Structure formats: C-alpha cells, structure tokens
C-alpha cells in the first residue's frame, strides 16, 4: 500500500479513535519521536459511533516568537516553566491536540497515594498550544496533570465501558477524554480559571480543498487531508518533497490538549528565520524530527516534520536549508 493511500485512510479517521488503541508507556515513549496524536486513557468507541462522527461532517496574551526556544514548550510544573531542568513529562489528550487571565498559582503538591508516581523525565513532551506562561499552556498542563493522576487503576473507566455517556456530546465528541462527572467538573474548572472555552461542533474530517476554503491557501506543498473544529483549530497531514509533516494550528482562547513527544529538547539546533510570507518563525532541527513554530495574535502553529538530520519516521532526512525551504512554502501570515 502506498503512503498516499494510507494517508487517505488515516485522514478519514477521527484522531481520538486512533488514540483509543494507545496507552502511554513511559518506558516505550523514549524509543522514537511521535506523530501528533492524542495520548490518553480512553474508552473504545463503537464502530457505529465512529461512523456517526465521520458523517457528522477570548484571545490570550501574545508574545513574539523572538527569543523563544523549544524548551519553553516543554510541559513542566508552573514554578519551573521556561527553565530546562527538573522536567516532568506529562501526557494528555486532544488534540492533541494544543495557550493568563488572573494570577498564576503554584501547582498542588503530589498526592500521597502510593499509586501516584510522576512520569520519569526520559522524554520531553511539548505543548502545541503556546509557550510556557500563556493561559493555553497552563490550562493544558493542568488538565494533563489531573488526567495523569486520575483513575490510576482504571476502575472508573472499566465501570463505564463502551456505553454512551452524558459527557459525550459536550466533551468526547470535541476531542476531550471525559468519562465521569468529576472529570467534567475539573475540565470546566480549568476552562473557567484560565478564561478559555472548549472546542465545540465536533471534530470535522476534511480534505485539503475544504481546509483551504475555510482557512486560506496556507500551504503550497503536496498534501493529504485533516480535520478542524468550528473555532478554527485544525490539523492536516502534508508532504514536502520526500519528507512528511503535520501542521496544527491551535486558536488562542480555547482549551486544546494535544501534546507531542520530541524526545530531547536539548538535541535540537534552533534559529529564527524570516519565511517568504514575511513572518518570523522558530526552526528547530533534531536527529529524527524537526519543528517550525509560529505565533500570531490569534493562534499558535506547530509544524511537526517527521524527519531530522539522521532520517525519520519514513526514512528521509532533512537539512537546515531544506527546513527553511519548507517554512517558505507555508503562509504563516494567514494562520
């Protein structure tokens, strides 16, 4: 099967369904760089519900990309945000996904329960919603920490099973993993605390033609498909020459909970670059992955390049010059 055919199949599937077969394992997570996929504990959605999903086709503070680094995206407690040590890697869900109104408060102490053990710092997970200190980043981190410590033995999840729940329409159909009233109350609390809103209108699969019609012709490379939310957050799978990449735009003012494994933030060569569209972006080139980061007053965009200097997910490598050419092929000014 050709890669393009596989992408067409994957493009028609809700990312939340893909994640349902995934269970985060810290021991495995350091083996390879990840695609942008929500990582979470999740109920298995029935085929009927999956088919229904497919057929049912407040802005935060803005900070310039200047002087920012990938390390500023690594998910860590609030009192260490923006630093590069004492990292606690945290995994959340969508998309995934992902971003202060009011004063920041220190995160609560770790529960004394013997079942709670912080994830080891063997890989770096980054926010896709914004840099440390933004309300979107803080909210995504708060939800990730809650989700990581909640229902550690899976007993609540097991009691829910695959049956429809009262929380599906508001939360689960919009990319959030909620299967109890306690989780619903917590996510509402986080949204209120950081002055954000939830995704709404469901996850809408779309080909590139529809994405261009809705959001402008932001990409000139060959492309496959993606999905979007009614608030303007979207993600698509694309290719540039022999390299595949994913582009995710997260709108500010919205809680988005997708995170990305970049293995080691310190292994990336980073530099600012003025793209052909006139926007200054941050480029980061690692051994098996590269990133392009762009921030505007309305959104935060991450381009997840599935190759680095030593190769990547599909084998091809990318140089610094080629990464700049890829950045030139994207119009970040309209994102």
Q: What is the pLDDT of residues 188-242, one digit of tens each?
A: 999 999 999 999 989 999 998 899 999 999 987 767 889 999 999 999 999 888 8
Predicted confidence band at 64 (pLDDT cuts at 50, 70, 90)?
low
Q: What is the pLDDT of residue 170?
A: 96
**Residue 73: per-residue pLDDT:** 95
pLDDT digits (tens, 9 = 90+) for 298-333: 999 999 999 999 988 776 899 999 999 999 999 999
Print the domain residue range for 284: 1-335
Q: Looking at residue 318, what is its pLDDT?
A: 94
pLDDT digits (tens, 9 = 90+) for 156-178: 999 999 899 999 999 999 999 99
| 259 vs 78, residue with greater confidence | 259
pLDDT at 47 over 50: no
The number of folded domains in the chain is 1
pLDDT over 70, % of the chain? 67
Alpha carbons 233 and 204: distance in angstroms, whole number: 11
Q: Give me the mean pLDDT over the 50-54 stretch.
A: 34
Q: pLDDT at residue 5 above 60?
A: no
Task: Give 35's pLDDT tier (boundaries 50, 70, 90).
Answer: low
Provide the β-strand partners of residue 126: 74, 260
The beta strand positions in the chain, using DSSP E, are: 124-127, 197-198, 204-207, 223-228, 234-240, 243-251, 254-255, 259-263, 269-274, 280-285, 290-295, 299-305, 307-308, 311-312
- Judged against a pLDDT cut of 50, whether residue 72 lies above it is answered with yes
Q: How confident is the model at residue 33 (pLDDT cuts 50, 70, 90)?
A: very low
What confidence score (pLDDT) does residue 37 get? 55
Provide the pLDDT for residue 34.
55
Strands (E), 77-172: 124-127
Does 207 or 40 have the greater pLDDT score? 207
Burial annotation 86-111 (CB, 10 A radius, 16+ → b, else e): ebbbbbbbbbbbbbbeeeeeebeeee
Q: Which of 6, 3, 7, 1 is nearest to 224 (CA)?
A: 7
Question: Which is higher by pLDDT, 120 or 182?
Answer: 182
Q: Can you give the pLDDT at residue 314?
A: 73
- More confident site: 197 or 103: 197
As a whole number of angstroms, the distance between CA 81 and CA 75 comes to 8
Tell me if 186 sits within 8 A of 148, measured CB to CB. no
Q: Which ranges constitute the DSSP H helices of 230-332?
A: 320-328
User: pLDDT for 262-290, tens place per residue?
Assistant: 999 999 999 999 999 999 999 999 999 99
CA 65 – CA 247 distance, rounded (Å): 17
Rg over alpha carbons for the chain, rounded to the nearest Å, is 19
């Amino acid at each position: 099967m050709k890669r393009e055919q596989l992408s067409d199949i994957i493009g028609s599937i809700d990312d939340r369904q893909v994640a349902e077969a995934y269970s985060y394992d810290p021991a495995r997570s350091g083996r390879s760089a990840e695609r942008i996929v929500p990582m979470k504990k999740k109920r298995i959605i029935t085929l009927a519900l999956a088919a229904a999903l497919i057929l049912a086709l407040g802005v935060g503070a803005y900070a310039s990309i200047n002087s920012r680094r990938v390390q500023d995206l690594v998910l860590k407690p609030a009192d260490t945000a923006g630093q590069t040590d004492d990292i606690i890697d945290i995994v959340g869900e969508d998309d995934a996904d992902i971003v202060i109104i009011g004063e920041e408060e220190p995160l609560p102490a770790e529960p004394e329960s013997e079942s709670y053990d912080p994830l080891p710092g063997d890989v770096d997970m980054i926010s896709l919603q914004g840099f440390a200190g933004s309300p979107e980043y803080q909210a995504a981190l708060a939800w990730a920490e809650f989700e990581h410590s909640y229902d550690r033995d899976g007993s609540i999840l097991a009691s829910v099973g695959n049956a429809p729940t009262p929380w599906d329409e508001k939360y689960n159909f919009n990319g959030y993993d909620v299967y109890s009233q306690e989780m619903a109350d917590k996510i509402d609390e986080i949204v209120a605390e950081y002055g954000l809103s939830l995704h709404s209108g469901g996850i809408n699969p779309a080909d590139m033609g529809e994405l261009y019609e809705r959001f402008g012709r932001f990409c000139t490379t060959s492309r496959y498909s993606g999905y979007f939310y009614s608030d303007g957050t979207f993600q698509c799978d694309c290719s540039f020459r022999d390299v595949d990449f994913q582009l995710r735009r997260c709108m500010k003012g919205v809680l988005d909970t997708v995170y990305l494994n970049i293995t080691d933030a310190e292994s990336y060569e980073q530099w600012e670059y003025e793209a052909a569209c006139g926007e200054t972006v941050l480029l980061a080139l690692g051994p098996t992955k590269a990133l392009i980061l762009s921030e505007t007053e309305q959104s935060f965009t991450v381009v997840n390049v599935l190759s680095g200097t030593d190769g990547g997910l599909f084998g091809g490598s990318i140089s610094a010059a080629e990464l700049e050419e890829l950045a030139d092929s994207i119009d970040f000014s309209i994102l």
